[in-house]
Amino acid sequence: MSFKSLGLSESLLHAVNKKGYSTPSPIQEKAIPLILQGKDILASAQTGTGKTAGFALPMLQLLAEGRQQSRPVVRALILTPTRELAAQVHEDVHTYSEFLHLRSAVIFGGVNANPQIRALRNGVDILVATPGRLLDLYNQKAVSLAKVEILVLDEADRMLDMGFLRDIKKILALVPEKRQNLLFSATFSREIKQLANGILNHPVLVEATPENTTAEKVDQKIYRVDKSKKAQLITKLIAEGDWQQVLVFTRTKHGANKLGKILTKNGLTAAEIHGNKSQGARTKALAGFKKGTVRVLVATDIAARGLDIPLLPHVINYELPNVPEDYVHRIGRTGRAGASGEAISLVSLDEIEYVKGIEKLLGLKLDSEVLSGFEPTETAADIKKEPKKGSFQRSQSSKPRDSNKGNFRRSNRSNSSRNRSN
């Protein structure tokens, strides 16, 4: 299978070839022809599978072949949950459209809006945006969505997790009712299917991998260790393994800052990225990590999606997430695009129930071991005074009020079961 066989134009094939891609990934192979046919799709794909090209390439072709406006107006809108993902998606769109007469722009919060407003006033065909900043600029009359032909919701499950459902509904009311809709999600939760029922019109369900699975080439392991010794263990692993690029996840912003200081004190160049950091600080930290001047990037789950770090070899869960699907998103930062990777979780006694939840979600048993010198000594008495964390449950988002607009049918299959509404 080649990109040319998918029906892409010579201009797009030139851009793809220049980027170094020769063979489409499974999600690209399945999604591109359907999107070129004008169909609505609900696509599930793990991070690192090439899903951005899966929707960007056919979207660009449809726009290029469509009726051109005398002055560029927003004809395609791509919504993303985080600033980092928005920036990355826009970078890809800009790269793929190099040989097309189409303009693109990205808008997100945390930075001065004036340059974004100027870009919009100069005319834009494709707009990549986070929901909050988009609504802010719409209310300032800086952008019109009246001509949108294609709407993309990228990382839709993450947008629900982050509480963007209300903003999404407001945006839906601003775009034309007649449009093509593309919804991409790493997982197919009940909430995602309910959202899709209210947005998509006779969608095709496309799955590049089984639901909620992790990358096949990621070696997952658990080290049992007392909470008080986690920082010591993580320093030992990185230093003795001579790991030069490690992404570490904590559960809280405070925890990220605290661990970053400890690692720096222990001689490892580290930086933190989370919601309390300014956009400038987050951009600087990520750039340093990619260039190699920052050896360890300590992040909260805001970075679990949208970080495009080629060939990232190591991900460490300093603390397990309190939503099981987030484990999938975290370790999906490694083992991307066919490369191998390693995901290590440091698990203290109070996180055992989290492990059970993750194993239930994945349908597999995770290997667990104890390293010499870090044998756990914690007992139930040591943790009983801590706040009860509750059972491991999927995050719940408010349910959309929209009615069903069609059934799902799997790509190349017939009669998928009808989704149920609660």
Residues 46 and 133 in one domain: yes
Domain assignment of residue 300, yes or no: yes
Q: Which residue has the tokens 């949208």?
A: 306
On whether the CB atoms of residues 221 and 358 are closer than 8 A, the answer is no
Annotate 105-131 with b (16+ C-beta within 10 A) or e (fewer): bbbbbbeebeebbebbeeebbbbbbbb
Residues 164 and 238 in one domain: no
pTM of the full structure: 0.66
Neighbours of 359 (CB within 10 A): 15
Residues 101 and 189 in one domain: yes
On whether the CB atoms of residues 309 and 247 are closer than 8 A, the answer is yes
Q: What are 51's two structure tokens?
A: 């899903």
Residues 177 and 238 in one domain: no
Distance in angstroms (rounded) separating the CA atoms of residues 64 and 386 = 58
CATH number reported for the structural domain that contains residue 283 in this entry: 3.40.50.300
Domain assignment of residue 420, yes or no: no
Residues 229 and 341 in one domain: yes
Neighbours of 146 (CB within 10 A): 9
Residues 262 and 169 in one domain: no
Q: Which amino acid is at 84?
A: E
The DSSP bridge partners found for residue 316 are 248, 344
Residues 374 and 401 in one domain: no
Residue 416 has pLDDT above 80, yes or no: no
Residues 319 and 207 in one domain: no
> Where residue 212 falls among pLDDT bands split at 50, 70, 90?
very low
pLDDT of res. 46? 63
Residues 277 and 197 in one domain: no
Write out the residue range of the structural domain in which residue 253 sits: 218-383
> Where residue 411 falls among pLDDT bands split at 50, 70, 90?
very low
- The pLDDT tens digits for 82-141 are 888 899 899 999 999 999 999 999 999 989 999 999 999 999 999 999 999 999 999 999
Q: Which amino acid is at 261?
A: K
Distance in angstroms (rounded) separating the CA atoms of residues 89 and 52 = 7
CA-wise closest residue to 216 among 51, 341, 321: 341
Strand, coil or helix: 369:
strand
User: How many structural domains is the chain composed of?
Assistant: 2
CA-wise closest residue to 421 among 244, 133, 190, 121: 190
Residues 86 and 182 in one domain: yes
Distance in angstroms (rounded) separating the CA atoms of residues 92 and 102 = 13
Residues 249 and 122 in one domain: no
Q: Within its chain, how far is the Cα of 46 from the centroid?
A: 9
Domain assignment of residue 391, yes or no: no
For the chain, state the CA radius of gyration: 22
Domain assignment of residue 192, yes or no: yes
- Using CA atoms in the order 82, 250, 287, 47, what is the torsion angle rounded to 10 degrees? -50
pLDDT of res. 388? 43
The DSSP bridge partners found for residue 180 are 150
Backbone angles phi and psi of 36, in degrees to 5: -60, -25
pLDDT of res. 216? 56
On whether the CB atoms of residues 327 and 212 are closer than 8 A, the answer is no
Q: What are 296's two structure tokens?
A: 């360890």
pLDDT of res. 167? 95
- The pLDDT tens digits for 13-58 are 999 999 888 889 889 999 999 999 999 999 987 666 788 999 999 9
Strand, coil or helix: 292:
coil
Residues 200 and 247 in one domain: no
